[in-house]
Amino acid sequence: PKAVMGWHIMADMKFMVMGVRSQDTALDVRELFAVPQEAIPDLLTTLVKSTPSIHEALLLTTCNRTELYVAMDDTEAALAALQ
């Protein structure tokens, strides 16, 4: 990565968002994606460490939605790991 004014520029990095929300997903399906708060750090650490193409991950959970944000360099490899 190239550092510019403290920012790291990664021009070849891709960004993906996957999620479920209450407006278009049934409750029984959303419950499958529920992650207890105390499990989030280990889940994200394992995801990043076990998937070389994923460099960063963030999980956003609210009462209405669960979203996974991923920074990666290989879309196909990241999607395969997330399935």
Residue 37: DSSP 8-state: G
The pLDDT assigned to 46 comes to 93
Instruction: For residue 34, give both structure tokens.
Output: 């529920």
Backbone angles phi, psi at 36, to 5 degrees: -60, 140
The pLDDT assigned to 78 comes to 86
The pLDDT assigned to 81 comes to 85
pLDDT by 10s per residue, the chain, length 83:
555 566 666 667 788 898 999 999 999 998 888 899 999 999 999 999 999 989 999 999 988 889 999 998 888 888 888 88
How far is it, in rounded angstroms, from Cα 83 to Cα 78?
A: 9
The pLDDT assigned to 58 comes to 94
Annotation marks residue 40 as catalytic: no
CB count, 10 Å around CB of 51? 18
Q: Of 4, 7, 63, 76, which residue is the catalytic one?
A: 63
The pLDDT assigned to 77 comes to 86
The pLDDT assigned to 1 comes to 54
Burial class (CB in 10 A: 0-12, 13-18, 19+), 72: buried
